[in-house]
Structure 1
């Protein structure tokens, strides 16, 4: 039963990472903590949309926040999340390299002049 719960928890985190806006928010926070207003400016997305996605990340304990006057400042709670994103980058790069290799095999030799 415990293993089933852990698998469900992992799936929830992966579901959170499955949305492009949330990945963009995390990438934006990679540089350090940011005010919601900065995230909105950097991503050019409406405040209500950003807030919804931050709520998902907050619910899963992936980001934390603090208030500074009227500003709400967010930061990534577990920097290991960037390792996951980096691994995904590596997978995408490997897939692209494999595709290029296959496509090069399709090239016909060109006649020399």
Structure 2
């Protein structure tokens, strides 16, 4: 996580709610440090995974997509303001689920 400037990672949407179908994407919130160089590396890394997951999904379901990950990046400021997707963190209903970052709990 530190290599890419990731502070926390959250899952939301149909995948989190166990209602995803073959055409569903995987919605992620990524809390980042704000370091632009690390952000570029992270975006490239996640894009590669998005394409790879889309290919695996195609092989299993026959459904083509341009990528399986729908990633939304959040900074400390976004979270402090509760802007847009940041409001899903700690929401009363349908909150984003924090994911474990290799032994470090998100959040």
TM-score if structure 2 supplies the norm length? 0.30
Q: Please state which structure has a larger fraction of its residues in strand.
A: 2
Larger relative contact order (CA 8 Å, sep ≥ 6): 2
Q: Which has the larger radius of gyration?
A: 1
